Chains A and B, each alone.
Chain A
Amino acid sequence: MKPLVEIDSLAVDFTTPDGVVNAVRGVGFKVEPGEILGIVGESGSGKSVSCRALLGLLPRHARVGGRIVYDGRELSTLTPAELAAVRGRQVSMIFQNPSSHLDPLMTIGEQVAEPMKFHFGLDRRAARRRALELLEVVRIQDAGTRMNAYPHELSGGMKQRVLIACALACEPRLLLADEPTTALDVTVQAGILRLLRTLNRERGLSMILVSHDLGVVAEVCDRVVVMRGGEVVEQGTVTDVVRQPRNAYTRELIDSQPGRLEMSSGRHARPAPLLEVKGLRVRFARRGGTVAFGGDKTQGIDALADVSLDVHAGETFGIVGESGSGKSTLARAVLGLVDTSAGSIRYDGRALAGLDKSERARFRRDVQMVFQSPYDSLNPRMRVLDAIAEPIWRHRLADPGEAGERAAELMDMVELSPALARRKPRQLSGGQCQRVAIARALALSPRLLIADEVTSALDVTIQAQVLRLLARLKEMRDLTIIYISHDLAVVRRFCNRVAVLKQGRLMEVGYTRTVFESPSSEYTRELIASAPDLDALRGGAVPA
């Protein structure tokens, strides 16, 4: 069979003020009709750029070389009008962030109908009728009413379904899916992946699925292309690549999958509770309630309702949940960053509400937090050594000179080269930056470290390094860690005990093994089933 798409020695250069950057070099792959091809790689690997080059969607300052042949036609020789006729009609695309890829001022029905008006010359009514059918195909409930909704009135998963409906409108033969589930919760992701597989099976729609998540690719794709630094390092069937990776980088990528991480979570937790949360309730005033019109404080949304749990000294305690589950609010409540409306928090046997000024200062030293985005949580104008030293002298634990020396020791402890000490956060990579944030949190020798999605913004190989670092520091400094994450696989490997939150309520709490192997709540079961797993390859389980 003739391949649907054949890409040969593709090269993409970007002209930037600092010179020419080769984003992609010598990339070649094929997509057979009816096949789902995965392209996997970390940030900057060129996977997205290759995909966009196919549809000619790169910015103007990009130069594209090499051959892209779609159905026997060389795309680079097409006129803009011919290319527009291919886009959406033959090849369409869906994107990572569904919110920003929909026009906020146009109803979703109109946006789905739009390409059909242009490609098929349908009138408004016929196009809307087809749009309604398509919204039903992508399982938008109550599609008739939702047609007239604007993007902001839909959830993230719904918006991605709308984008898929737009892409399907003109019955294309190839769908390019660029990280289509990265911005979505894991249960929503499972739904979208199921939909993509159904479309592939029932309509024979070929796909290129670009993802950083090998687990997602393994669940959906037939073949996979592994990219790194703008080049293809390996390609083959998913089963072959996952079971017998030939390339060293592919091997590293597979070994870095959280499910494959070798990690001792340390089992010498003392059952003495370090932190006791009882009946905690956090209430936020409802949006839109303004002062002038009597914003009623008692009306509101419970970000957390009746949450009780203990964190034992020396353990790693995981908190998992999807967006809006209240996991970050819980951390902020413990730190006293949000007002609680009911319940108590006790630290080391003392109620936080009853601490006097000096005890409060002591508590603030004892409990430190590391945030999701290292770039946002570090002062962009401060050199990293100063950022790490600042809490030490601010708390008057040392004079600024001595604080600098201690900061240098901390940098060494988090495996940062002393050469980086004078850099600003923007001059560091995401992983290095997160190490700085960890070092800063450790500067006050805390007993409890709260890590809020600290590896979510990082590539998977870097995530593996940071997790190993945290595990080592925990042993070394006798830390208790509260690890907040949406990623079940990481929590499963890394935590001794785990709490599952959903919409501000505690679903269950228990030892990690018990929760994962015999979950007591329906929601936990759903979460676990939704998480993509490398070992749940289409071809069957992989022997360990």
Chain B
Amino acid sequence: MPQITYIGRRLISLIPVLIGISIISFLLVKLSPGDPIRLLLGPRATDEAVAAVRLAYGLDEPAWRQYFVYIGNVLEGDLGRSIRYRLPVSELIVQFLPRTLFLIGYVMAITIPATLALAVIAARTQDRLADQAIRLFTVLGMSVPVFWLAVLLGRYFGAELGWFPVSGWGEGFTGHLHHLFLPAVSTSLWLIPLLVRNLRGALIEQMESDYVVACRAKGLPEGIIFRRHILRNSVLPTLHLLGIMVAFLIGGSVVVEIVYAVPGLGALMVGSVIGRDYYVVQGLTLAYAVGTVLVTLTVDLLTAAIDPRTGR
């Protein structure tokens, strides 16, 4: 039962977080320099036209009123209109989001198995050759910048060998897999080293713990001790790190999306910032923040499912 009250408490605690996020995304446009109306109407608009639009958009109301109107609109799914695309922001996000989600899912599908395999091998062959090799790889992986790696992989596997496309996102599921292979690998190569180091450390720490000695004293084989006891006790810190990374990827896939010209949220964000497309930036900020909140919530719920001590 404490688990359920914990989940309930965790959900309730989201409310103030979400309110905070909405205030910040509201202020983002409110306080940014330049007048969105002038941008909307173009440089040759008359003062009367600006004033009329201002009135029509409710921008002459006090700030707190505008905020509540904004909240009401957001709750109805109305995030405003893009000036550049002449489309509702929500539609834009729905259009661009699947590509980024696909990329993130792809990255996870590569990262998680690879991390588990490498960390387990390294921990079980501690200080021997395989462990040394894996540690060397992690140091290299952490010191190579992701954009450079993306460019390098694109040139070699894309341009030189022609195995993979270097831009766009393809048609159909297999097309997506093919097109997004290089971006997903470049991102994974940046994530895996950190996660492997983190998990390897936790595994080695747990391998020395008292309950492992107790399991040996019961006569359990090493393989079972490792899978049933050590691994379960080691994954939590790495799960939390992974959560932070995924949350970061939602907004941080920018570099890879730009390098490989994947039309995802990152590419949309950069385009909108450069084009001063305020409402898109505002809507994306809100979407990123909500995404981050959802990821951390998922991680917390997973933690509660794994560790019965959570929430005490």
Residues of A within 8 A of B (CB): 55, 57, 81, 84-89, 92-93, 95, 97, 100-106, 114-115, 118-119, 150, 152, 163, 166-167, 169-170, 176, 287-288, 292-293
Contact = CB atoms under 8 A, between A and B. Distances in A.
Given A105-B307, A287-B312, A288-B312, A57 B217 contact: yes
A273 B224 CA distance: 63
Given A102-B211, A106-B229, A288-B312, A57 B218 contact: no
Interface in B256-312: 306-309, 312
B43 interface: no
A178 B165 CA distance: 64
B7 to A, nearest CB: 14
B219 A105 contact: no
Interface residues of B, number: 24
Contact of A105 (B216, B218, B224, B306): B306
Interface in B218-242: 218-221, 224, 228-229, 232-233
Given A106-B229, A152-B309, A101 B218 contact: no
B225 to A, nearest CB: 10
Contact of B232 (A101, A105, A163, A166): A105
Contacts of A103: 211, 215, 229, 232-233
A5 B224 CA distance: 29
Contact of A292 (B13, B210, B228): B13
28 contacts: A55-B216, A55-B217, A84-B220, A85-B219, A87-B219, A88-B217, A88-B220, A92-B217, A101-B211, A101-B213, A102-B214, A103-B215, A105-B229, A105-B306, A105-B307, A105-B308, A106-B228, A106-B229, A114-B228, A115-B219, A119-B219, A150-B308, A152-B309, A166-B214, A176-B217, A287-B312, A288-B312, A292-B13
Contact of B9 (A57, A102, A293): A293
Nearest to B2: A288
B213 A57 contact: yes
Contacts of A287: 312
Nearest to A81: B221
A4 to B, nearest CB: 17
Contacts of A55: 216-217
A91 to B, nearest CB: 8
Contacts of A89: 219
A101 B216 CA distance: 11
A105 B233 contact: yes
Contacts of A169: 218
A352 to B, nearest CB: 35
B303 to A, nearest CB: 11
Contacts of A101: 210-211, 213-214
Contact of B219 (A88, A150, A163, A292): A88
A447 to B, nearest CB: 43
A114 B218 contact: yes
B209 interface: yes
A100 B209 contact: yes
Nearest to A118: B220
Contacts of A100: 209-211
Main DSSP-derived SS at the B contact region = helix
Nearest to B308: A150
Contacts of B215: 103, 114
A93 to B, nearest CB: 4
Interface string B186-228: 0000000000000000000000011101111111110010001
Given A103-B233, A118-B219, 6 more contacts: A100-B210, A101-B214, A103-B215, A114-B228, A118-B224, A119-B219
A163 B308 contact: no
Given A89-B219, A150-B308, A292-B13, A163 B233 contact: no
Contact of A104 (B216, B219, B309): B309
A54 to B, nearest CB: 10
Nearest to A153: B308
A89 B240 CA distance: 39
A166 B218 CA distance: 8
Nearest to B307: A105
Contacts of A293: 9
A57 B309 contact: no
Nearest to B211: A103
List the 7 closest A-B pairs by CB distance, nearest first.
Answer: A88-B219, A87-B219, A100-B210, A88-B218, A93-B217, A101-B214, A115-B218
A301 B119 CA distance: 45
A95 B210 contact: yes
Given A101-B211, A105-B307, A87 B233 contact: no
B219 A86 contact: yes
A92 B211 CA distance: 14
Contacts of B216: 55, 57, 87
Contacts of B307: 104-105
Nearest to A90: B219
Contacts of A152: 308-309, 312
Interface in B1-57: 9, 13
Contacts of B220: 84, 88, 114-115, 118
Contacts of A119: 219
Nearest to B216: A57
A173 to B, nearest CB: 14
Given A88-B219, A100-B209, A118-B221, A163 B214 contact: yes
A92 B308 CA distance: 28
A95 B215 CA distance: 12
A89 B233 CA distance: 26
Contacts of A88: 217-220
B218 A87 contact: yes
Given A95-B210, A97-B210, A105-B307, A84 B221 contact: yes
Contacts of B228: 106, 114
B19 to A, nearest CB: 14
B72 to A, nearest CB: 27
A85 B309 CA distance: 33
B214 A95 contact: yes
Contacts of A95: 210, 213-214
Contacts of B210: 95, 97, 100-101
A294 to B, nearest CB: 12
Contacts of B224: 118
A114 B9 CA distance: 34
A470 to B, nearest CB: 34
Contacts of B232: 103, 105
A86 B218 CA distance: 9
Interface centre among B209, B211, B309 (most CB of A within 10 A): B211
A163 B210 CA distance: 12
Contacts of B229: 103, 105-106
Contacts of A292: 13
Contacts of A106: 228-229
